[in-house]
Chain A
Amino acid sequence: MTWSALARAATTAARRTLAQPGLAVVSVGFYLLVTAAVTSLWRSAAEAHGGEIAGYSGLALTWYIVASEATVVAQRVRLIEEVGTEIGSGAIEPELLRPVAAVGVRLATEIGAVLPRLVACLVAGAGYAALVAGAPIATGSIGLALPSIVLAVVCNIAAQHAVAAASFWVRDAKSAWYLYHKFVFIAGGMLIPLEVLPESFESVARLLPFSAMAYAPARLASGYFEPGLLIGQALWTAVMLVAAVAMFARGERRLTAAP
């Protein structure tokens, strides 16, 4: 029953996104703008370095950015803040009066809401990349990139819920969204491939969950056939889902408990 309820929650949220075409157009427009700017920079940099940077050609870097930007831009930027505010204001309380866990419904609706935007961004991004740089380098790695993009989104949403759940204890936890996104941008490899970072920084970034949220699908989309990335992502996604569920469960207990 729970799984069918969550599936229904996700499809209803997807319908909600589709019912707001204006927002989707803004989202895709912003995505294309950022992608065009960043990929142009990287292609120029690659040309200036003899056509390649840290093993990435201009074509590979274009597909890298198309994938990494899509996984992040398709999501609500201030998700942590919004969920945190709902926890802090008590708006979450009616959700506790349902037979399915509030965090489950929230994760399902957020994933459902993101998917139509993600598809729209990817279609637009793929069209742009094919037009300005050329077809993807390897179809095998693109085949892996698609499930990897979905895992990246799920992992990111679950992690943001785990962070937002700190609002059950700390009033200002919601402001963590700003710092969180900086980690995804840099340590997650959203703007800069991890291989381009200083070696010590790269080693640390690879140990963090943020690389599962942008770098992994981007690396696969850029033509590197590395199935291990998908396994690492699956593990991080499982960890983040467990963390989100556990944090909400503890938070709910704190919210309802007698002083």
Chain B
Amino acid sequence: MTIVADRLARSFVTGRRRARRVVEAVQGLSFTVEPGERVAFIGPNGAGKSTSIKMLTGILHPTSGDATVLGRCPWRERRALTRDIGTLFGQRSQLWTELTPRQSYRMLGAIFGLDDRRLDRRTAELGALLDAEDLFDVPVRTHSLGQRMRCELAACLLHEPKILFLDEPTIGLDLLAKQRFREMVVRLNEAQHTTILLTSHDVADIEYVADRVIVINHGRLIYDDSVDRMRREYFATKLIEVGLMHPVDRFETLGASVVHQSDLSIRLVVDTQVLPVRDVVDALLERLPVADLSIVDPPLEDVIASIYRVRSS
């Protein structure tokens, strides 16, 4: 096993004296991860995702429970473990904007004990793998956010970690950059067999990157299964938003229900188990004066509500 979490729990004390309150951020979390797996660790804001990642990387000691990562106890052997894990926190940069990524990599490489030859080989390898070679010699301040994230990804892979922890890595990226980043993570996993543990509250991150999904809410594990199964069970609906060039009469199509219609927009929910999205889109394009069209996943909060509904029934 690469990761074993056994009834991990962590609480925080907030406030002082009378306002003192104990918040249970994570409660009895147990799961295992096999080498080379791509696991999405999802939940709404405040669900306990980041706290769990911090415990598994050794930044936080649990209140109770146990865990091993690559056979080591993360919070007792954090320094030793850092050589085998990579971490990318979406809003924390490892690169200095005034310098080129390659210059920052020299420093990071030295911190991880890589000699110049190994670092050069690894930088070239990652440049090719992440389509980022041409970005490595340009100051980071001139990069787009998507380009910067690819260089950040390379930074946390310099020391060839066996596990990569990605904490909200696509936050703030535009759609194209998000998709490109997801492809890079999958490519990395396939080429180097790096275990991926990804936290996100973007449903698309899970669908594209992970083959297994763990859902937590209020610090508790509420779902642990393959993404395929989750897709079948909970992502069976898609939301289609259509912008119109001019007003139309009420629109109806088989398998899709119109949840909102105004003069210049229609919103439909499609049950993909009844009708493929493509058929609905074809019908829309054929019968309506479409100016704009977008297909959106159900919000994560809705998915979690569905999980609760199914579990409680």
Footprint of B on A, CB under 8 Å? 1, 4-5, 7-9, 12, 15-16, 19-20, 91, 93-94, 96-100, 105, 255-259
Q: In the bound complex, do residue B98 and residue A12 qualify as a contact, i.e. CB atoms below 8 Å apart?
A: no
Which A residues lie within 8 Å of B87 (CB)? 94, 97
CB closest chain-B residue, reference A4: B110
Identify 21 residue pairs between A and B in the complex whose beta-carbon atoms are under 8 Å apart, listed by A's number: A1-B113, A8-B106, A8-B107, A8-B109, A8-B111, A9-B110, A9-B111, A12-B103, A12-B104, A12-B106, A12-B107, A19-B98, A93-B59, A94-B89, A97-B78, A256-B59, A256-B60, A258-B10, A258-B61, A258-B63, A259-B63
User: Are B82 and A98 touching (Cβ within 8 A)?
Assistant: yes
- Chain B 113-142, CB within 8 Å of chain A: the 1/0 string? 100000000000000000000000001000
Contact A5 B111 (CB under 8 A): yes
**What is the CA–CA distance of A20 and B109 in the complex, to the nearest angstrom?**
23
Closest to B99 in A: A16
A259 surroundings in chain B (CB, below 8 A): 11-13, 22, 63
A108 CA to B28 CA, complexed, in Å: 41
Report if B229 contacts A (CB, 8 A): no
Assuming the A-B contacts A15-B99, A96-B59, A98-B82, are A256 and B110 also in contact, with contact meaning beta carbons closer than 8 angstroms in the complex? no
Q: With A8-B106, A9-B110, A19-B98 known to touch, is A256 a contact of B13 (CB < 8 Å)?
A: no
User: A93 vs B112: C-alpha distance in the bound complex, in angstroms?
Assistant: 17
Query: Which residues of B pack against A, CB within 8 Å?
Result: 10-13, 22, 54, 57-63, 75, 78-80, 82-83, 85, 87, 89, 92, 94, 96, 98-99, 103-104, 106-107, 109-113, 139
B54 and chain A: residue at smallest CB distance? A93
Residue of A nearest to B107 (CB): A12
Instruction: List the A side residues contacting B11 at CB < 8 Å.
Output: 259
Interface of A is mostly: helix
Q: Verify A12–B58 contact, CB threshold 8 A.
A: no
Residues of B within 8 A of A4 (CB): 110
Instruction: Check A94/B92 contact, CB under 8 A, given A8-B106, A19-B139, A99-B83.
Output: yes
Residues of A within 8 A of B63 (CB): 258-259
CA distance A4 to B87 in the complex (A): 23
Partner of B79, one of A93, A94, A99, A255: A99
Nearest-neighbour CB distance to chain B for A21, whole angstroms, equals: 11
On chain B, the residues within 8 Å of A105 by CB distance are 111
A93 (CB) vs chain B CBs: closest residue: B59
Shortest 8 CB-CB distances between A and B: which pairs? A8-B110, A12-B107, A19-B98, A5-B110, A258-B61, A259-B13, A5-B111, A258-B63
Contact B113 A5 (CB under 8 A): yes
The residues of A that contact B83 with a CB separation of less than 8 Å are 99
A19 to B96, CA, bound (A): 11
Let me know if A94 and B113 touch, CB within 8 A: no
Q: How far is the CA of A105 from the CA of B111 in the complex (A)?
A: 9
Tell me whether A91 and B110 are in contact (CB under 8 A): no
Whether B98 and A20, one on each chain, are in contact in the complex, defined by CB atoms closer than 8 angstroms, is: yes
Which of A1, A16, A105, A255 has the largest count of B CB atoms less than 10 A from its CB? A16
Q: Which of A16, A98, A255 contacts B98 (CB 8 A)?
A: A16
Q: Which among B12, B22, B82, B107 is the interface contact of A9 at CB below 8 angstroms?
A: B107
Q: How far is the CB of B95 from chain A (nearest CB, A)?
A: 11
